[in-house]
Amino acid sequence: MKIIKHWNIKQRKSIENRRIDAFLVDIIEVYRKHNLAISHEDIHGGFDIVELEDSFVKWLEAAADNT
């Protein structure tokens, strides 16, 4: 499992969170299994299901930690 430091919103600093890393690994496996990803339309707040591209995995891995 890749360890990534995520920006923790509550602590206002980048920290490691193995729970989030494990969660993201599972989601990325589902992305790859179906060759689909969940994307977000920021303006309207809805979600889009799209064809998987590497950029969607990188975007997901950059998620902030708000736990």
| pLDDT tens column, 36-61 | 999 987 767 788 999 999 999 999 99
CB half-sphere exposure, 48, CA atoms < 13 A? 10
pLDDT at 43: 66
- Confidence (pLDDT) at 45: 74
Report residue 29 CA to chain centroid gap.
12
Rounded Cα–Cα distance for residues 7 and 48 (Å): 24
